[in-house]
Amino acid sequence: MNKPNPKPVGIPQIVVVGSINMDLLAVVHRLPRPGETVVSLGFEENPGGKGANQAVAAARLGATSVMIGRVGDDAIGQQLRRSLRESQVSVSNVRTTRGKSSGVALITVANFGENTIVVVPGANGALSPTDVAAAEATLQSADAILVQLEIPLETVAAVIDVARRHDVRLILDPAPACDDLPHDMLKVDVVCPNAVEAQQLTGVAINKPADAEPALKQLLRRGVRLPIITLGAQGAIFADEGEIHHVKSFPVDAVDATAAGDSFAAALAVALVEGQGNLAAVRFASAAGAIAASRSGAQRSMPTREDVDSLIMEGNRRSPADG
């Protein structure tokens, strides 16, 4: 097993297990319909992947951030590893998979912020329970673990098992949505799907905040301690100690929502580890997600702690606290 990464006293250590991708992003006036070709307004190549995005976000928010994942033995893999290092993310648990390409995400973004994403897993598909076992000491030392579904489900299950055995807080971001997610995998501390993902988990269609309550209650019955559903411009809604809370969104001009959910999940982990109450933590995460949505790109859109604190202060001046 790897030795736990040393962490300064008082600084949260967030360990992220997940995907590391290169995002190939095309900007368009509007998303194409099936069978339609549209001309792009521009093209960008940005380091991404839900896991790597969350690791970078945690680091920018002031946490000690550790990434567990895999890249291919190609130039993209070297670039992805270098980008994580430059963002102050530990890559000692990022392995190279021989004979595999690195993960790639093909992203189309409309100029009003909506997007479509096709993920080519590449080396991410080789991240295995064996890798989790090799990093168990690192996971055990974490203040919180973040995991998503862009890696094999058996690997996600292994991460959840380690978190349970060592009583480490675990946040599951169930994205991309999975119809056949085993019920036992939802018996975790926090689950934070968006409306589409929540519908796939529960069968409940969510078009407005009031629609979310049945889905939240179902997630509670399935074992989630703190279920949160993000609703984009309509904010976030969560269940806590028998009550439903709606946190309003922070008004921003949406540019690219690709990594907004990743920013939300990482900020939520940091806030909860710091001891912020659930309501304050969801509000902090909502501010981080809003900032990410107001910027283009994935990892480069992740906000700093100063960015988030500033937006929350501005929101406090405009309106009273949510509840």
Other C-beta atoms within 10 Å of 312: how many? 17
The two three-digit tokens of residue 291, written as one number: 């900032």
Q: How far apart are CA 289 and CA 301, in angstroms?
A: 10
Contact 168, 142 (CB under 8 A): yes
Catalytic residue among 179, 262, 307, 309, which? 262
Q: Quick check: is 262 catalytic?
A: yes
Describe the strand order of the beta sheet including 115-120 as a list of residue ranges: 42-48, 21-28, 103-110, 115-120
Token pair, residue 94, equals 């990022």
38: nearest Cα among 46, 47, 28, 48: 28
Q: Is residue 9 packed enough to be buried (19+ CB in 10 Å), middle (13-18) or exposed (0-12)?
A: exposed
Long-range contacts of 304-313 (CB under 8 A, 24+ apart): 304/60, 304/61, 305/60, 305/61, 305/62, 308/61, 308/267, 308/284, 311/250, 311/287, 312/250, 312/283, 312/284, 312/287
Under 8 Å between Cβ of 141 and 7: yes
Residue 203's CB is within 10 A of a number of other CB atoms, namely 10
**Could you give the C-alpha distances from 60 to 116, 162, 186, 261, in angstroms and in order?**
26, 26, 28, 16
Q: Which residues are catalytic?
A: 262
